[in-house]
Structure 1
């Protein structure tokens, strides 16, 4: 079969697609996680908590499609990444899965009884369903930047030699807190769009505080990585269209290595700039009535933060701290030429459908969720 796109280009396209899917998850499902994290703080009464729940209840399942797409893309396009990640981050991913399961259960069970104790239990579950995944995803990125303790043998089998507690290192925890602050900011911007009155006022205050924390933690993380974290650099010839065998290259750890891409490709500075500008703009815009523009600003900041991690790591996807040569990159950890092409065709067909459906849903569900609306439709809403 003649494939009209060369292997190198397909690998680069799938690196970009993987970034798009991860950013899509952070932007679309991120505000759901942020609203869940804000639930005990922004909503003071049962009616107010139901308002928050009903802002995301109709859309969270569709938003979580981006997580499924991202996981599926890693499994099919970069199988060694999938294998290494599920070996190394197994307990962290299990914890995240448990937390995510609390969301649908909480949405469906919370309103079954009016007992305040019953509802407090599920409110706690919804909080954990937002906070824990946001924290764990950030910790995972923080550990990627330091290298993951795995190695490959000559048969390319993955051996992970770390533990769960090893993930809870200072930089990993900093990245986790940055992730939480970022998604709280984004969730507060969504509540600014979807609510009014006292809930909206609290959401605005939360947005401004979270935006300031996001800027501070992102700057601190950048300084830490620039001054105290060794990056990874390929020192041998790069076979961008070669076989998927990570052991054919040589890699060195270099202080400040994660900044090398910005020197070689100055345009990449757009990513961290977008992170700072988006958060700062959102904090300023929240003082007025530009609700949708504020949400776009937080989405820009989220996009910039996730993109910064991606372009800093490129071409690495999962560096190895045990054996740098075992590090997995976009050039040597991909599926076959044919597999990537078939996936590309499927993506070009179905991704526009997902985007169109998502746009349709949000258009149909536009408008604010108010206390009066929730009380009037108490039996039919979450």
Structure 2
């Protein structure tokens, strides 16, 4: 089949693909949830917004669930350290996510303005908190996480929740929220009509340039104010996984090294900077579908920028850099990765096929005619 080193790279790629699937699909439905009480001016408009994502939002969660499961199976040490160090943040995200299914199902059960408004804000919270937390998490990964490993490879996390809320991480968190809102706004351009459609266009025109500025600011800060991590010892990708067998140094501009070694990687940040502006232009000429494709490619560019910058690091340690987790020394066994690759080769295409079928089958706008026709069965 594949050797151990190749399997490690394959699973770095596959987990990146799963995360890309999450930020694109859950990106638009969380973006719509964030915009729900903001641009939905009455109950009819808010129901249109909810029903624009109704056929898809549950299926979109598959990418998050499978992504978390893949990290658990492929990078167990990383999973354990992340859920220990980011425990409060993870629980905050989990409890926020509880509001979404309950809000979608319950809000229209009672014809009471206060009831529905309360659930609208609950959906807002459940859609706004996760992207902020995810952004804050990536912001902290780029700075290094305060943990060490003992001789038995047991993780000792020495940070706290409020330490995660540092300026750079908060900037990345706000940027992440803007990405999701932008994705949701372009989705609404494709799926709605009338005044709601016009408001979605305005949101896109406002948020797109803000997203570019925040991405550029985060990149400048990363290049000039945050030291990167560099492996300084010889790495054997086929050796047993043991993070303590390497040496790592913290160097100024360390996160830029891969772009020097592999110039093609520069395409990722270029896409992240360019395509929000293309979405802006597509919105001006009322091409909502092309605007949505542009914001989806923006998500791809941004996530790959983070992945390329950190490669091969997964979770660097700010206390003991040599304890950092990389794809070479933090993976499951060769047999485990081999079995997982066979399983993924079967089920990932199945997920892609049924997801694509659902989007094709439910293609179309959710307007007043749709809501009148499905008045009693829609959300």
Contact 1:37 1:128 in 2 (8 A): yes
Contact 1:148 1:321 in 2 (8 A): yes
Give the counterpart of 1:72 among 60, 69, 72: 69
Unpaired segments ≥5 residues, structure 2: none
TM-score, with normalisation over the residues of structure 2?
A: 0.99
Give the counterpart of 2:154 among 153, 157, 171: 157
**In 2, Cα distance between equivalents of 1:289 and 1:228:** 40
Contact 1:230 1:253 in 2 (8 A): yes
Superposed CA offset, 1:255-305 (max 9, x none): 111000000000000100111121110000001232211111000001100
Matched, 1:28 2:45: no
The aligned residue for residue 79 of structure 2 is 82
Give the counterpart of 1:220 among 217, 222, 236: 217
- Mapping for residues 1-382 of structure 1, pairs under 5 Å: 4-382=1-379
Contact 1:47 1:375 in 2 (8 A): no
Structure 1 residue ranges, 4+ long, deviating more than 3 angstroms after superposition: none
RMSD of the alignment, in Å? 0.8
**In 1, Cα distance between equivalents of 2:357 and 2:20:** 20
**Aligned pairs, how many?**
379
Contact 1:185 1:208 in 2 (8 A): no
TM-score, with normalisation over the residues of structure 1?
A: 0.98
**In 2, Cα distance between equivalents of 1:351 and 1:108:** 29
**In 1, Cα distance between equivalents of 2:24 and 2:138:** 16
Unpaired segments ≥5 residues, structure 1: none
Superposed CA offset, 1:195-254 (max 9, x none): 011111100110121111110000000000000001000011112111110000000100
**In 2, Cα distance between equivalents of 1:51 and 1:375:** 11
**In 1, Cα distance between equivalents of 2:282 and 2:169:** 31
**In 1, Cα distance between equivalents of 2:31 and 2:342:** 34
